[in-house]
Amino acid sequence: MADILRAVKGMNDILPASVPRTEKLPDSGLWQWFDTTVRTVLGRYGYQYLLTPIVEPTALFVRGLGEVTDIVEKEMYSFVDAMNGDRLTLRPEATAGIVRAMVEHNALYNGPLRVWTMGAMFRHEKPQKGRYRQFHQLDVEALGFAGPDVDAEMILMARSLWRELGLVEGQQVRLELNSLGQPAERRAHRDALVAYFQQHADALDADSQRRLHSNPLRILDSKNPAMQTLIEGAPQLMDFLGEASLAHFNAVRAVLDAAGLAYRVNPRLVRGMDYYNLTVFEWVTDQLGSQGTVCGGGRYDGLIEQLGGKPTPAVGFGLGIERLLLLIQELALPVPGAVPLAYAVLPSAAAVPQAMAALESLRAAGVAVLMHAGGGSMKAQFKKADASGARYALIFGDDELARGEVAVKSLRDAGAGQRSVPIGQLASLAREWLGA
Protein backbone atom coordinates (compact mmCIF):
# COMPACT_ATOMS: atom_id res chain seq x y z
CA MET A 1 0.00 0.00 0.00
CA ALA A 2 1.42 3.40 -1.00
CA ASP A 3 2.21 5.99 1.66
CA ILE A 4 -0.48 8.61 2.22
CA LEU A 5 0.45 11.97 0.73
CA ARG A 6 -0.17 14.86 3.09
CA ALA A 7 -0.60 18.61 2.68
CA VAL A 8 2.48 20.80 2.97
CA LYS A 9 3.10 21.84 6.58
CA GLY A 10 1.42 25.15 7.25
CA MET A 11 -1.01 24.77 4.33
CA ASN A 12 -4.41 23.52 5.45
CA ASP A 13 -7.47 21.92 3.91
CA ILE A 14 -10.75 23.74 4.49
CA LEU A 15 -13.30 20.99 5.10
CA PRO A 16 -17.02 20.68 5.92
CA ALA A 17 -17.94 20.61 9.61
CA SER A 18 -19.02 16.98 9.29
CA VAL A 19 -15.41 15.89 8.62
CA PRO A 20 -13.56 15.24 11.91
CA ARG A 21 -10.28 17.14 12.37
CA THR A 22 -7.44 16.59 14.82
CA GLU A 23 -6.59 20.31 14.72
CA LYS A 24 -9.13 23.01 15.55
CA LEU A 25 -9.57 24.87 12.27
CA PRO A 26 -12.53 26.84 10.88
CA ASP A 27 -14.80 24.64 8.74
CA SER A 28 -15.97 25.48 5.24
CA GLY A 29 -19.43 26.55 6.44
CA LEU A 30 -17.83 29.25 8.58
CA TRP A 31 -15.79 30.39 5.57
CA GLN A 32 -18.92 30.59 3.39
CA TRP A 33 -20.74 32.64 6.01
CA PHE A 34 -17.79 35.01 6.30
CA ASP A 35 -17.59 35.36 2.51
CA THR A 36 -21.30 36.22 2.26
CA THR A 37 -21.04 38.72 5.11
CA VAL A 38 -18.04 40.46 3.53
CA ARG A 39 -19.79 40.81 0.18
CA THR A 40 -22.84 42.30 1.89
CA VAL A 41 -20.94 44.83 4.02
CA LEU A 42 -18.52 46.00 1.33
CA GLY A 43 -21.35 46.29 -1.15
CA ARG A 44 -23.07 48.79 1.15
CA TYR A 45 -20.02 51.03 0.91
CA GLY A 46 -19.76 50.80 -2.89
CA TYR A 47 -16.59 48.68 -3.08
CA GLN A 48 -16.14 46.58 -6.24
CA TYR A 49 -14.69 43.07 -6.42
CA LEU A 50 -11.54 42.19 -8.39
CA LEU A 51 -9.06 39.32 -8.70
CA THR A 52 -5.32 39.39 -9.36
CA PRO A 53 -2.91 36.48 -10.08
CA ILE A 54 -1.41 34.42 -7.28
CA VAL A 55 1.98 34.50 -9.04
CA GLU A 56 3.59 37.90 -9.66
CA PRO A 57 7.05 39.15 -10.71
CA THR A 58 9.43 39.05 -7.74
CA ALA A 59 10.46 42.63 -8.51
CA LEU A 60 6.93 43.80 -7.69
CA PHE A 61 7.35 42.91 -4.03
CA VAL A 62 10.99 43.96 -3.78
CA ARG A 63 10.09 47.42 -5.11
CA GLY A 64 6.73 47.65 -3.38
CA LEU A 65 7.42 46.23 0.08
CA GLY A 66 11.07 47.19 0.48
CA GLU A 67 14.21 45.07 0.20
CA VAL A 68 14.88 45.09 3.96
CA THR A 69 11.42 44.01 5.13
CA ASP A 70 11.08 40.61 6.78
CA ILE A 71 8.71 39.51 4.01
CA VAL A 72 11.19 40.13 1.19
CA GLU A 73 14.28 39.05 3.11
CA LYS A 74 13.01 35.83 4.69
CA GLU A 75 9.42 34.88 3.90
CA MET A 76 8.69 34.91 0.16
CA TYR A 77 8.21 31.76 -1.91
CA SER A 78 10.25 32.73 -4.99
CA PHE A 79 11.44 30.69 -7.95
CA VAL A 80 12.82 31.00 -11.47
CA ASP A 81 10.43 30.17 -14.31
CA ALA A 82 12.01 27.17 -16.09
CA MET A 83 10.52 28.29 -19.43
CA ASN A 84 11.87 31.84 -19.70
CA GLY A 85 14.05 32.49 -16.65
CA ASP A 86 11.70 35.07 -15.10
CA ARG A 87 11.94 35.50 -11.33
CA LEU A 88 8.47 34.88 -9.90
CA THR A 89 6.93 34.88 -6.41
CA LEU A 90 3.78 33.50 -4.82
CA ARG A 91 2.13 36.67 -3.55
CA PRO A 92 2.83 37.32 0.16
CA GLU A 93 0.22 40.11 0.32
CA ALA A 94 -2.40 41.64 -1.97
CA THR A 95 -1.87 45.42 -2.12
CA ALA A 96 1.15 45.40 -4.44
CA GLY A 97 -0.65 43.18 -6.94
CA ILE A 98 -3.73 45.40 -6.94
CA VAL A 99 -1.60 48.50 -7.52
CA ARG A 100 0.24 46.70 -10.33
CA ALA A 101 -3.11 45.91 -11.96
CA MET A 102 -4.30 49.51 -11.62
CA VAL A 103 -1.14 50.83 -13.28
CA GLU A 104 -0.98 48.18 -16.00
CA HIS A 105 -4.61 48.67 -17.07
CA ASN A 106 -4.74 52.44 -16.46
CA ALA A 107 -7.72 51.62 -14.25
CA LEU A 108 -7.85 55.05 -12.59
CA TYR A 109 -8.14 56.96 -15.88
CA ASN A 110 -11.81 57.72 -15.27
CA GLY A 111 -11.35 58.59 -11.59
CA PRO A 112 -10.85 56.98 -8.18
CA LEU A 113 -11.85 53.40 -7.42
CA ARG A 114 -12.91 51.49 -4.33
CA VAL A 115 -12.02 47.79 -4.73
CA TRP A 116 -11.61 44.61 -2.71
CA THR A 117 -10.41 41.04 -3.12
CA MET A 118 -10.03 37.81 -1.14
CA GLY A 119 -7.60 34.97 -1.70
CA ALA A 120 -4.60 32.90 -0.72
CA MET A 121 -1.25 34.49 0.24
CA PHE A 122 2.03 32.69 0.93
CA ARG A 123 4.83 33.32 3.43
CA HIS A 124 7.57 30.91 4.41
CA GLU A 125 7.48 31.11 8.18
CA LYS A 126 7.06 28.84 11.19
CA PRO A 127 3.43 27.64 11.29
CA GLN A 128 1.55 28.34 14.51
CA LYS A 129 -1.99 29.02 15.63
CA GLY A 130 -3.47 31.68 13.38
CA ARG A 131 -0.26 31.97 11.34
CA TYR A 132 0.22 29.68 8.35
CA ARG A 133 2.40 29.38 5.25
CA GLN A 134 -0.66 29.54 3.04
CA PHE A 135 -3.15 31.93 4.55
CA HIS A 136 -6.10 33.87 3.22
CA GLN A 137 -6.61 37.59 3.29
CA LEU A 138 -9.41 40.05 2.71
CA ASP A 139 -7.87 43.13 1.10
CA VAL A 140 -9.74 46.44 0.67
CA GLU A 141 -8.33 49.45 -1.20
CA ALA A 142 -9.53 52.99 -2.00
CA LEU A 143 -7.37 54.37 -4.82
CA GLY A 144 -7.24 58.02 -5.86
CA PHE A 145 -8.68 59.51 -2.65
CA ALA A 146 -6.43 61.92 -0.72
CA GLY A 147 -8.64 63.06 2.13
CA PRO A 148 -8.82 61.80 5.70
CA ASP A 149 -12.54 61.08 5.18
CA VAL A 150 -11.73 57.88 3.26
CA ASP A 151 -9.21 56.81 5.92
CA ALA A 152 -12.02 57.09 8.46
CA GLU A 153 -14.47 55.33 6.12
CA MET A 154 -12.10 52.35 5.94
CA ILE A 155 -11.97 52.08 9.72
CA LEU A 156 -15.73 52.47 10.14
CA MET A 157 -16.33 49.87 7.42
CA ALA A 158 -14.22 47.41 9.42
CA ARG A 159 -16.38 48.19 12.46
CA SER A 160 -19.49 47.43 10.40
CA LEU A 161 -17.98 44.07 9.48
CA TRP A 162 -17.25 43.26 13.14
CA ARG A 163 -20.83 44.02 14.06
CA GLU A 164 -22.23 41.82 11.27
CA LEU A 165 -19.98 39.00 12.47
CA GLY A 166 -21.11 39.42 16.08
CA LEU A 167 -17.87 40.92 17.42
CA VAL A 168 -18.02 43.80 19.89
CA GLU A 169 -15.59 46.62 19.11
CA GLY A 170 -13.75 47.97 22.13
CA GLN A 171 -13.98 44.59 23.87
CA GLN A 172 -13.33 41.59 21.62
CA VAL A 173 -11.52 43.74 19.05
CA ARG A 174 -9.93 47.14 19.73
CA LEU A 175 -8.73 49.89 17.41
CA GLU A 176 -5.20 51.32 17.61
CA LEU A 177 -4.29 54.37 15.56
CA ASN A 178 -1.16 56.30 14.61
CA SER A 179 0.27 58.58 11.93
CA LEU A 180 3.55 57.93 10.13
CA GLY A 181 3.60 61.41 8.62
CA GLN A 182 5.28 62.11 5.29
CA PRO A 183 8.67 60.85 3.99
CA ALA A 184 10.65 63.96 5.05
CA GLU A 185 9.20 63.76 8.57
CA ARG A 186 9.96 60.07 8.73
CA ARG A 187 13.55 60.71 7.62
CA ALA A 188 14.05 63.20 10.44
CA HIS A 189 12.56 60.73 12.89
CA ARG A 190 14.70 57.96 11.41
CA ASP A 191 17.88 59.93 12.02
CA ALA A 192 16.81 60.52 15.63
CA LEU A 193 16.03 56.80 16.07
CA VAL A 194 19.41 55.73 14.70
CA ALA A 195 21.19 58.13 17.03
CA TYR A 196 19.14 56.90 20.02
CA PHE A 197 19.61 53.20 19.35
CA GLN A 198 23.31 53.66 18.61
CA GLN A 199 23.66 55.02 22.14
CA HIS A 200 22.11 51.74 23.39
CA ALA A 201 23.62 49.36 20.85
CA ASP A 202 24.56 46.80 23.49
CA ALA A 203 20.88 46.36 24.40
CA LEU A 204 19.77 45.58 20.81
CA ASP A 205 19.01 42.00 19.80
CA ALA A 206 20.38 40.56 16.54
CA ASP A 207 17.34 41.52 14.46
CA SER A 208 17.41 45.10 15.73
CA GLN A 209 21.14 45.47 15.13
CA ARG A 210 20.58 44.31 11.55
CA ARG A 211 17.73 46.82 11.09
CA LEU A 212 19.48 49.75 12.80
CA HIS A 213 20.71 51.39 9.60
CA SER A 214 18.49 49.71 7.01
CA ASN A 215 15.02 50.08 8.60
CA PRO A 216 15.20 51.39 12.19
CA LEU A 217 11.44 52.08 12.34
CA ARG A 218 10.88 48.31 12.41
CA ILE A 219 12.79 48.10 15.69
CA LEU A 220 9.76 49.77 17.29
CA ASP A 221 7.68 46.75 16.22
CA SER A 222 9.95 44.27 18.04
CA LYS A 223 8.11 41.76 20.23
CA ASN A 224 11.25 40.97 22.27
CA PRO A 225 10.25 41.57 25.94
CA ALA A 226 13.83 42.47 26.87
CA MET A 227 13.73 45.48 24.53
CA GLN A 228 10.39 47.00 25.46
CA THR A 229 11.75 49.48 28.04
CA LEU A 230 14.35 50.67 25.53
CA ILE A 231 11.69 51.04 22.83
CA GLU A 232 9.41 53.01 25.14
CA GLY A 233 12.16 55.60 25.58
CA ALA A 234 12.81 56.04 21.85
CA PRO A 235 11.94 59.30 20.02
CA GLN A 236 8.31 59.39 18.93
CA LEU A 237 7.39 60.10 15.32
CA MET A 238 4.44 62.23 16.41
CA ASP A 239 6.92 64.83 17.67
CA PHE A 240 8.32 65.20 14.14
CA LEU A 241 5.02 65.66 12.29
CA GLY A 242 4.33 68.93 10.54
CA GLU A 243 1.13 70.94 10.50
CA ALA A 244 -0.40 69.22 7.45
CA SER A 245 0.24 65.69 8.76
CA LEU A 246 -1.21 66.55 12.17
CA ALA A 247 -4.26 68.13 10.54
CA HIS A 248 -4.86 64.96 8.48
CA PHE A 249 -4.57 62.77 11.59
CA ASN A 250 -6.84 65.00 13.67
CA ALA A 251 -9.45 65.00 10.88
CA VAL A 252 -9.52 61.19 10.92
CA ARG A 253 -9.92 61.23 14.69
CA ALA A 254 -12.74 63.78 14.48
CA VAL A 255 -14.78 61.44 12.24
CA LEU A 256 -14.18 58.46 14.52
CA ASP A 257 -15.10 60.52 17.58
CA ALA A 258 -18.32 61.70 15.92
CA ALA A 259 -19.17 58.07 15.06
CA GLY A 260 -18.66 57.02 18.69
CA LEU A 261 -15.77 54.67 17.90
CA ALA A 262 -13.28 54.30 20.74
CA TYR A 263 -9.59 53.94 19.87
CA ARG A 264 -6.11 54.23 21.36
CA VAL A 265 -3.44 56.41 19.80
CA ASN A 266 -0.38 54.14 19.79
CA PRO A 267 2.76 56.14 18.88
CA ARG A 268 4.70 52.86 18.48
CA LEU A 269 2.34 51.44 15.89
CA VAL A 270 4.12 50.78 12.59
CA ARG A 271 3.25 48.50 9.67
CA GLY A 272 5.45 45.80 8.17
CA MET A 273 5.65 47.32 4.68
CA ASP A 274 7.71 50.37 3.72
CA TYR A 275 5.03 51.98 1.58
CA TYR A 276 2.83 53.42 4.37
CA ASN A 277 2.48 57.15 5.21
CA LEU A 278 0.11 59.25 7.32
CA THR A 279 -2.71 57.18 8.86
CA VAL A 280 -1.97 53.63 10.02
CA PHE A 281 -4.29 51.48 12.11
CA GLU A 282 -4.72 48.00 13.54
CA TRP A 283 -7.63 46.10 15.04
CA VAL A 284 -6.25 43.87 17.81
CA THR A 285 -7.54 41.24 20.22
CA ASP A 286 -6.39 39.63 23.48
CA GLN A 287 -8.06 36.29 22.65
CA LEU A 288 -5.43 34.75 20.33
CA GLY A 289 -2.23 34.92 22.36
CA SER A 290 0.72 36.52 20.60
CA GLN A 291 -1.15 36.73 17.27
CA GLY A 292 -3.13 39.76 18.41
CA THR A 293 -3.58 41.70 15.16
CA VAL A 294 -6.61 40.63 13.11
CA CYS A 295 -6.75 43.58 10.69
CA GLY A 296 -4.32 46.34 9.77
CA GLY A 297 -3.78 48.99 7.17
CA GLY A 298 -3.32 52.64 6.40
CA ARG A 299 -2.45 55.19 3.75
CA TYR A 300 0.20 54.59 1.06
CA ASP A 301 0.26 57.67 -1.17
CA GLY A 302 3.63 56.91 -2.78
CA LEU A 303 3.23 53.27 -3.81
CA ILE A 304 1.44 53.75 -7.14
CA GLU A 305 4.15 56.11 -8.39
CA GLN A 306 6.80 53.76 -6.99
CA LEU A 307 5.39 50.96 -9.16
CA GLY A 308 5.36 53.02 -12.35
CA GLY A 309 2.07 54.91 -12.19
CA LYS A 310 1.27 58.58 -11.85
CA PRO A 311 1.38 60.05 -8.32
CA THR A 312 -1.89 58.85 -6.77
CA PRO A 313 -3.07 58.76 -3.16
CA ALA A 314 -4.41 55.48 -1.75
CA VAL A 315 -5.49 53.83 1.48
CA GLY A 316 -6.42 50.26 2.37
CA PHE A 317 -6.39 47.41 4.86
CA GLY A 318 -5.75 43.68 5.00
CA LEU A 319 -7.54 41.18 7.22
CA GLY A 320 -6.23 37.70 8.04
CA ILE A 321 -9.23 35.44 7.52
CA GLU A 322 -7.96 32.36 9.39
CA ARG A 323 -7.05 34.47 12.40
CA LEU A 324 -10.44 36.20 12.45
CA LEU A 325 -12.37 32.93 12.11
CA LEU A 326 -10.28 31.43 14.93
CA LEU A 327 -11.28 34.42 17.06
CA ILE A 328 -14.95 33.79 16.28
CA GLN A 329 -14.47 30.15 17.30
CA GLU A 330 -12.62 31.08 20.50
CA LEU A 331 -15.46 33.38 21.51
CA ALA A 332 -18.08 30.74 20.56
CA LEU A 333 -20.08 33.36 18.68
CA PRO A 334 -23.36 32.20 17.10
CA VAL A 335 -22.80 31.37 13.45
CA PRO A 336 -25.64 30.59 11.03
CA GLY A 337 -25.22 26.96 10.07
CA ALA A 338 -25.08 25.79 6.48
CA VAL A 339 -28.01 23.41 6.96
CA PRO A 340 -30.88 22.54 4.63
CA LEU A 341 -34.41 23.71 5.36
CA ALA A 342 -35.80 20.32 4.36
CA TYR A 343 -34.62 16.70 4.00
CA ALA A 344 -36.22 14.43 1.42
CA VAL A 345 -36.98 10.87 2.57
CA LEU A 346 -37.41 8.35 -0.29
CA PRO A 347 -38.71 4.97 0.93
CA SER A 348 -38.27 3.27 -2.47
CA ALA A 349 -36.22 3.69 -5.63
CA ALA A 350 -39.43 4.01 -7.63
CA ALA A 351 -40.05 7.39 -5.96
CA VAL A 352 -36.81 8.94 -7.22
CA PRO A 353 -37.91 10.41 -10.60
CA GLN A 354 -41.06 12.12 -9.29
CA ALA A 355 -39.36 13.19 -6.05
CA MET A 356 -36.37 14.75 -7.80
CA ALA A 357 -38.62 16.76 -10.11
CA ALA A 358 -40.53 18.06 -7.08
CA LEU A 359 -37.32 18.94 -5.23
CA GLU A 360 -36.03 20.89 -8.21
CA SER A 361 -39.15 23.08 -8.09
CA LEU A 362 -38.54 23.78 -4.39
CA ARG A 363 -34.89 24.64 -4.98
CA ALA A 364 -35.85 26.94 -7.83
CA ALA A 365 -38.11 28.75 -5.36
CA GLY A 366 -35.16 29.28 -2.99
CA VAL A 367 -35.56 26.35 -0.56
CA ALA A 368 -32.42 24.40 0.41
CA VAL A 369 -33.30 20.70 0.28
CA LEU A 370 -31.00 17.74 0.94
CA MET A 371 -32.14 14.54 -0.75
CA HIS A 372 -31.42 11.17 0.81
CA ALA A 373 -29.42 8.95 -1.53
CA GLY A 374 -28.34 5.31 -1.38
CA GLY A 375 -31.52 3.72 -0.04
CA GLY A 376 -31.99 2.47 3.50
CA SER A 377 -34.83 1.95 5.94
CA MET A 378 -37.23 4.73 6.92
CA LYS A 379 -35.73 4.68 10.43
CA ALA A 380 -32.21 5.17 9.07
CA GLN A 381 -33.34 7.94 6.72
CA PHE A 382 -35.13 9.83 9.49
CA LYS A 383 -32.02 9.53 11.65
CA LYS A 384 -29.99 11.19 8.88
CA ALA A 385 -32.71 13.79 8.36
CA ASP A 386 -32.53 14.74 12.03
CA ALA A 387 -28.71 14.84 11.98
CA SER A 388 -28.75 17.16 8.94
CA GLY A 389 -30.26 19.95 11.04
CA ALA A 390 -33.20 20.34 8.66
CA ARG A 391 -36.45 21.72 10.06
CA TYR A 392 -38.70 19.53 7.91
CA ALA A 393 -38.77 16.08 6.35
CA LEU A 394 -40.44 15.62 2.97
CA ILE A 395 -41.65 12.01 2.67
CA PHE A 396 -42.16 10.70 -0.86
CA GLY A 397 -43.94 7.46 0.01
CA ASP A 398 -45.68 5.23 -2.54
CA ASP A 399 -49.15 6.05 -1.12
CA GLU A 400 -48.47 9.81 -1.11
CA LEU A 401 -47.17 9.78 -4.67
CA ALA A 402 -50.14 7.74 -5.87
CA ARG A 403 -52.33 10.62 -4.62
CA GLY A 404 -50.00 13.25 -6.14
CA GLU A 405 -48.89 14.39 -2.67
CA VAL A 406 -45.85 14.63 -0.42
CA ALA A 407 -45.97 14.24 3.36
CA VAL A 408 -44.41 17.11 5.36
CA LYS A 409 -43.21 16.39 8.91
CA SER A 410 -41.64 18.85 11.33
CA LEU A 411 -38.34 17.60 12.74
CA ARG A 412 -38.01 20.32 15.39
CA ASP A 413 -41.57 20.62 16.72
CA ALA A 414 -42.93 17.31 17.99
CA GLY A 415 -46.40 18.76 18.44
CA ALA A 416 -46.71 19.94 14.84
CA GLY A 417 -47.60 16.51 13.51
CA GLN A 418 -47.56 15.60 9.84
CA ARG A 419 -49.55 16.89 6.87
CA SER A 420 -49.88 16.17 3.18
CA VAL A 421 -49.36 18.77 0.48
CA PRO A 422 -50.22 18.37 -3.23
CA ILE A 423 -47.02 18.26 -5.26
CA GLY A 424 -48.45 20.93 -7.52
CA GLN A 425 -48.63 23.30 -4.55
CA LEU A 426 -44.98 23.07 -3.48
CA ALA A 427 -44.43 26.66 -4.62
CA SER A 428 -46.96 27.77 -1.99
CA LEU A 429 -45.14 25.65 0.60
CA ALA A 430 -41.87 27.34 -0.36
CA ARG A 431 -43.40 30.79 0.13
CA GLU A 432 -44.76 29.70 3.52
CA TRP A 433 -41.36 28.46 4.68
CA LEU A 434 -39.46 31.47 3.37
CA GLY A 435 -41.95 33.94 4.83
CA ALA A 436 -42.77 35.43 1.42
Phi, psi of 386 (to 5 degrees): -65, -40
Q: What pLDDT, on a 0 to 100 scale, did the predictor assign at position 63?
A: 84
- In the chain (436 residues long), the average pLDDT of successive 10-residue segments reads 85 84 82 94 96 94 75 84 92 93 94 96 82 92 96 96 92 93 89 88 84 80 84 89 95 96 89 81 86 89 90 95 91 79 90 90 90 88 88 90 91 83 87 79
A 10 A CB-CB count for 162 gives 20
- CATH match for 342-434 among 3.90.930.12, 3.40.50.800, 3.40.640.10, 2.60.40.10: 3.40.50.800
Fill in the amino acid letter for 58: T
Closest CA to 78 of 94, 60, 98, 64: 60
- The torsion angles phi and psi of 377, rounded to 5 degrees, stand at -70, 160
pLDDT at position 273, please? Answer: 67
Domain with CATH 3.30.930.10 in the chain: 28-181+241-330
Tell me what pLDDT residue 219 has.
85
Q: What is the pLDDT of residue 395?
A: 92
Portions of the chain given CATH number 3.40.50.800: 342-434
> Going edge to edge, which strands form the sheet with 55-57?
55-57, 87-90, 77-80
- Pairwise CA distance, residues 323 & 318, whole Å: 12
**Fold (topology level) of 28-181+241-330:** BirA Bifunctional Protein; domain 2 (3.30.930)
SS3 57: strand
Q: What is the pLDDT of residue 67?
A: 65
- pLDDT of 153 reads 96
**pLDDT at res. 155:** 97
pLDDT of residue 205: 85
